[in-house]
Structure 1
């Protein structure tokens, strides 16, 4: 299939997603939530909006223009073990493999097969030539290369089984934010989106904030009251009640606004319903703290003049096609196998 046809198929998919009717989305999202209670109508709708953003023609064309796709002389069979922590999280790997000219054998997450299967069907309807390049499989034995996404523990398992093949293996990552105190009320509220979207389950969700002053923790909690409806979700609420009880029983200092707990902690990854925070003295101190954790940070959310290459407040969950998981260029890997 000509390369331009492959690219255009994904651009056209984005256009079709943008034209989905409310009725179509309602039925699809209901099935997704029945499979995975974390995948609410709001979460699924945001994921689809994120794909529309990613597949916009100018972003796609800018992305693919950075690579030499002619170097792929032979199509390989790439096994992809997909995550399922947020809706359609495996889509970018699917797109990258197909654009590189390879075939994909995808093991879908049991938590996210409804949306991914639906997206695959849509893509094949747009470009039937993809049908022979996509296989959904439970077993991924004997592939030419592998991409696997999982936890730090499962990555060791992946290394053991896939390490002898060309492979791209991802571990746990999370995102952090920097709040200096000169942010506007709108920026603080936008940061709330980066914390609460997808219930904090994504690698681009902010699980820790670095604050210039202890008092800013109270400012955050006060400005995030508009997100209180998140506690209506039974799984989130159960996590909140559990973590709150643990902190109270253990006598661990924390702040609580009724649906989010903030706790001073040096580690990065916080439990659901908990946001860790740490105080920094100055930008040099902050740089040392972030450098220590750099291999575990997906993105840094801050004002543009606060940190180089920072993601704007409220934009963490709207990545472009070149915003790779773990910061590792998936396309470069696929073009090299």
Structure 2
């Protein structure tokens, strides 16, 4: 049974309403408690706090007005559905949902291979979606084995797996995503509120997302005291064993390597030209002036997912917003919906 665009939007909007109601329940329903417990047992990084944040973010985006506004610029015809294979990442909760949403709202069929790190949350959402609109059952296939009989591919992985994907899927239209990290640009004039927002950009999802800030660009002579004061609200992360273990290990590596770094007991800042910093740390580079900053960012643009910074910076998004992307904030800047509609 074919679903027209209006019904597709309506069912996803209903899912958003259900998620909003689900996470608002106090005390939480047995259904939600069971999901949260299983998710954390399966992947220790998927704590209740992190999964709740992800569910709330999706509940906010899956509203009829937002879905309609997002899709308005596209011409979505009622063509025969194609099968699109999605190889999902599992670094943060439900990270593959945006690709699935694009595939299904474009009128195509989804064949998704889940990450071993995120085996529970997406099936839960798909089951709720099918309960809302049973016709989706013919459009969604979760693969345990390798994908097959597909028209196009969207795959996300590390730089190494991306090279394998590019070779393996070279005969099909594809989007292949590689490692990217996010950066923040500081001037020294940031408010307390802006730096508090920056701490969310750094620590949400324990820094595991591609939109997590792992690199700071700061003026020469920058004083990091304000940053350390702002991030102190996240000191509770040390109560999480996996984070504590990573902090202890990475601090030991820094010390044994005789690196110069700053730290406050749960977080480290190290000068380094690399983009991807270890968990519980960020790297930084200094810049002399605006031109020097632009040159440094330009040189690394293929490694940057998003830039957090001041309003005066044209390409920057506000502090505190990196972990709340909108529906049209496409990974790697590649318009997934446009890709699907041109197949």
Q: What interval of TM-score do these two structures reach, taking the shorter chain for normalisation?
A: over 0.9
Aligned match of 2:231 in 200, 224, 231? Answer: 224
For the residues of structure 2 that align with 1:121 and 1:312, how far apart are their CA atoms?
Answer: 35
Q: Give 2:204's aligned residue.
A: 197
Out of 59-68 and 219-228, give the one that drifted further: 219-228
Find the counterpart in structure 1 of residue 47 from structure 2.
40
Residue 217 of structure 1: CA displacement? 2.1
Q: Is it true that 1:245 corresponds to 2:252 in the alignment?
A: yes
How far has the Cα of 1:309 moved from its partner?
3.5
Residue equivalent to 1:94: 100
TM-score, normalised relative to structure 1? 0.97
Please give the alpha-carbon distance, in whole angstroms, between the structure 2 residues aligned to 1:208 and 1:214. 17
- Match of 2:120, SS state, is helix
* In structure 1, distance between residues paired with 2:242 and 2:10: 40
2:162 maps to 1:155: yes
Change (3 A) 1:221 1:36: same
Q: Once the 2 structures are TM-superposed, how far is the Cα of residue 213 of structure 1 from its aligned partner?
A: 4.0
Residue number in structure 2 paired with 1:13: 15
Q: Distance in 2 between matches of 1:263 and 1:218?
A: 14
Which residue matches 1:215?
Answer: 222
Aligned residues of 2:83 and 2:149 also touching (Cα < 8 A): no
Matched, 1:116 2:122: yes
Partner of 1:277: 284
CA distance in structure 2 between the partners assigned to 1:334 and 1:61 by the alignment: 17
Would the aligned equivalents of 1:54 and 1:319 in 2 still touch at CA under 8 Å? no
Residues 94 and 104 in structure 1, CA contact (< 8 A), matched pair in contact too: yes
For the Cα contact (< 8 Å) 2:20–2:60, is it kept in 1? no
The superposition leaves residues 19-48 of structure 1 with CA deviations (integer Å, 9 ceiling, x where unpaired) of 003223322111100110000000000100
Q: Tell me the distance in 2 between the aligned counterparts of 1:91 and 1:181.
A: 37
Q: Which runs of 5+ in 1 are unaligned?
A: none
- Alpha-carbon distance between aligned partners in 2 of 1:295 and 1:125, rounded to the nearest angstrom: 41
Of the candidates 314, 317, 321, which is equivalent to residue 315 of structure 1? 321
CA contact (8 A) 1:200 1:207 kept: yes
- Of the three residues 298, 301, 304, the one matched with 1:297 is 304
Asked if the contact 2:207/2:279 (under 8 Å) is kept, the reply is yes
Q: Any stretches of 5+ residues in structure 2 without a counterpart?
A: none
Deviation at 1:282, TM superposition (A): 1.2
SS in 2 for 1:211: strand
How far off is 1:267 after superposition? 1.2
Secondary structure of the equivalent of 1:19?
Answer: helix
Does 1:56 find its partner at 2:75?
no
CA distance in 2, matches of 1:213, 1:294: 21
Q: What's the secondary structure of 1:73's corresponding residue?
A: coil
Structure 1 position 131 matched with structure 2 position 137: yes
Aligned residue number for residue 333 of structure 1: 339
Q: CA deviation at 1:276?
A: 0.4
What CA distance in whole angstroms lies between the structure 2 residues aligned with 1:6 and 1:242?
Answer: 47
Deviation per CA, 1:28-72, whole angstroms, max 9, x where unpaired? 1111001100000000001001101221322211110010001x6
Distance in 2, matches of 1:223 and 1:147, equals 38
Whether 1:73 aligns to 2:79 is yes
Aligned mates of 1:164, 1:189 — CA distance in 2: 47
Distance 2:63 2:310 in 1: 25
